[in-house]
Amino acid sequence: MNFDGIASEYDAWYQTPLGAYANRLEKKLIFELAEQKSGETVLDIGCGTGNYSIELAHMRLEVVGIDPSGNMLKIAREKAEKEGLDIKFILGTAESLPFNDDVFDLVVLVTTFEFLDPKKAIFEMRRVLKWDGRIIVGVLNRWSVWAFERRIKSLFEKTIFAGARFYSIPELKRFFGKVRWKTTLFAPPHTPSFLLKYFERLEGALSRVFKPFGAFIGVRIEHA
């Protein structure tokens, strides 16, 4: 999937009530799993327009973002410069990371794994990770209404998810082995904005009762 053509409108999703809600819940889950610490080195694979890279840099981590879209990276650099953040953004792919072995404390991929060659990407992630590092992967859950809705929509119009592969927890475990995992985002797609606050209040209970079915899965993989 070539993301260059949608770079200018990519961030618009996060400005909508539902997009801001989803982004808030997803980041909460990812950062709970990551347990990031000030001063650590982090690689944000598929960084796009810098959504996670910028947040991590504000946490005083040493951030490198990589993405195959030059247009996405241009926007990410502009945003980071505007906020006075020193982030290194690099054009490249997850399947061939331009880094030495054992470089990063933390590797993060959020809604990126769906578009990759999984075996090549996993090999590369593990290669650049320090021996005591961890990998955090966030994906859209194959067992959710959100994934179903995106798949149906892609049959009738061109969307970024047309070529995506959605994953379930069992599939991720087959790729990564033993993982820690959580899900979030139980509000259905197109939920009216006035209802989002109620879903957010119920998020904790919903995640306990319907854990495998949240729209967004976060997994933590230790190097070993």
CA–CA separation, 66 and 94 (whole Å): 8
pLDDT digits (tens, 9 = 90+) for 178-223: 899 999 999 999 999 999 999 999 999 999 999 999 999 999 998 7
Interacting residues of 146 by C-beta distance below 8 A, sequence separation 6+: 140, 185, 188, 189, 215, 216
What pLDDT was estimated at residue 4? Answer: 72
- Structural domains of the chain ordered from first start: 4-222 (3.40.50.150)
Instruction: Report the residue count for the chain.
Output: 224
Is residue 76 within 8 A of residue 50, CB to CB? The reply is yes
pTM: 0.94
Interacting residues of 216 by C-beta distance below 8 A, sequence separation 6+: 22, 25, 26, 29, 138, 139, 140, 141, 146, 183, 184, 185
What pLDDT was estimated at residue 1? Answer: 57
Q: State the average pLDDT for the chain.
A: 93
What pLDDT was estimated at residue 2? Answer: 65
DSSP state of 188: P
CA–CA separation, 189 and 211 (whole Å): 18
